[in-house]
């Protein structure tokens, strides 16, 4: 579970086509990174997958099923934003529990899932604190915890580390990679940071002005960039 397929997907804002017809398959369990300069359409593409934007045309499939008409909350995907979007008046425990409470999950199951998520994210000692009493990295982990307990078939990350300082960012990259190994769930990760893309991805999708320049593993892109844009962007020697 967790294969996402885009077939001839387009997006226009008014008369401006920001995503020309685009085809892409994200395989189950893969860590896929969308990388490209600011304004190239990374967030738009992720929001189309999440259902937070409507496609102008084309088909989106999740595990083979046409997801076009499925509302965001029913797609089985969990989005993690750079602004953590935590509830400031609620404890970490309540923040993580929130999606389960909304879905009517019983208390014992909630507690078990919160404990498991907290353990996976090194948050066990912080469950009774409020977001204001946490560091930026800890807040980002709470946001990820809130996504984990929904047991999504895929996680969608939009530049989740861009609010963190450089040192913390390196640590969080490792934590997210570790989490991907543990959960083996599809992750789609948007960044404009080449280093992040090269170090975290199984597969990199290089975007430019809404279209795909190249798709490949970090090594493939490094050794055989298709053109000077890809080479320049990922810093390979072509």
The terminus-to-terminus CA distance of the chain in angstroms comes to 37
* Beta-ladder partners of 66: 61
Contact 88, 98 (CB under 8 A): no
Binding residue for ligand ADP, selected from 1, 12, 27, 39, defined by CB under 6 A: 39
Instruction: Give SS3 for 23.
Output: strand
Binding residue for Mg ion, selected from 11, 34, 41, 43, defined by CB under 5 A: 43
Contact 186, 4 (CB under 8 A): yes
Q: What's the closest the beta carbon of residue 33 comes to Mg ion, in angstroms? A: 13
Regarding 13 and contact with ligand ADP (CB under 6 A), the answer is yes
Regarding 50 and contact with ligand ADP (CB under 6 A), the answer is no
Site residues (CB under 6 A) for ligand ADP, limited to 114-173: none
Regarding 24 and contact with ligand ADP (CB under 6 A), the answer is no
Regarding 218 and contact with ligand ADP (CB under 6 A), the answer is no
Contact 98, 87 (CB under 8 A): yes
Q: What's the closest the beta carbon of residue 94 comes to ligand ADP, in angstroms? A: 31
Q: Please, which residue, 42 or 93, has the CB nearer to ligand ADP?
A: 42
Contact region for ligand ADP (CB under 6 A) — 40-48, 57-65, 75-83, 160-168? Answer: 40-48
What the block records as the tokens of 61 is 């499939």
How many Å apart are CA 58 and CA 39, to the nearest integer? Answer: 21
Binding residue for ligand ADP, selected from 3, 10, 17, 18, defined by CB under 6 A: 18
Q: Please count the other Cβ atoms lying within 10 Å of the Cβ belonging to residue 65.
A: 11
Q: Please, which residue, 149 or 190, has the CB nearer to ligand ADP?
A: 190
Q: Please count the other Cβ atoms lying within 10 Å of the Cβ belonging to residue 20.
A: 15
How many Å apart are CA 29 and CA 232, to the nearest integer? Answer: 29
Contact region for ligand ADP (CB under 6 A) — 41-49, 131-139, 145-153, 162-170? Answer: 41-49
Q: Which residues of this chain interact with Mg ion, rule CB under 5 A? A: 43
């Amino acid at each position: 579970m967790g294969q996402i397929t885009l077939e001839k997907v387009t997006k226009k804002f008014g008369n401006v086509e920001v995503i020309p017809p685009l085809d892409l398959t994200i395989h189950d369990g893969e860590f896929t990174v969308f990388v490209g300069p600011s304004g190239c359409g990374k967030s738009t593409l992720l929001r189309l997958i999440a259902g937070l934007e409507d496609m102008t045309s084309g088909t989106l499939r999740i595990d083979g099923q046409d997801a076009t008409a499925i509302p965001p909350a029913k797609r089985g995907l969990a989005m993690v934003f750079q602004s953590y979007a935590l509830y400031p008046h609620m404890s970490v425990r309540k923040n993580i529990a929130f999606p389960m409470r909304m879905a009517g999950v019983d208390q014992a199951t909630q507690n078990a899932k919160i404990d498991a998520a907290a353990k996976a994210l090194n948050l066990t000692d912080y469950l009774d604190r409020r977001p204001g009493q946490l560091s930026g990295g800890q807040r980002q982990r709470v946001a990820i915890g809130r996504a984990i307990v929904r047991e999504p078939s895929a996680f969608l990350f939009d530049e989740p580390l861009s609010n963190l300082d450089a040192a913390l960012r390196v640590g969080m990259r490792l934590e997210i990679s570790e989490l991907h190994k543990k959960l083996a769930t599809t992750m789609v990760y948007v960044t404009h940071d080449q280093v992040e893309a090269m170090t975290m991805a199984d597969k990199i999708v290089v975007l430019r002005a809404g279209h795909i320049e190249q798709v490949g593993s970090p090594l493939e892109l490094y050794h055989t960039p298709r053109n000077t844009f890809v080479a320049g962007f990922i810093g390979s020697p072509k």
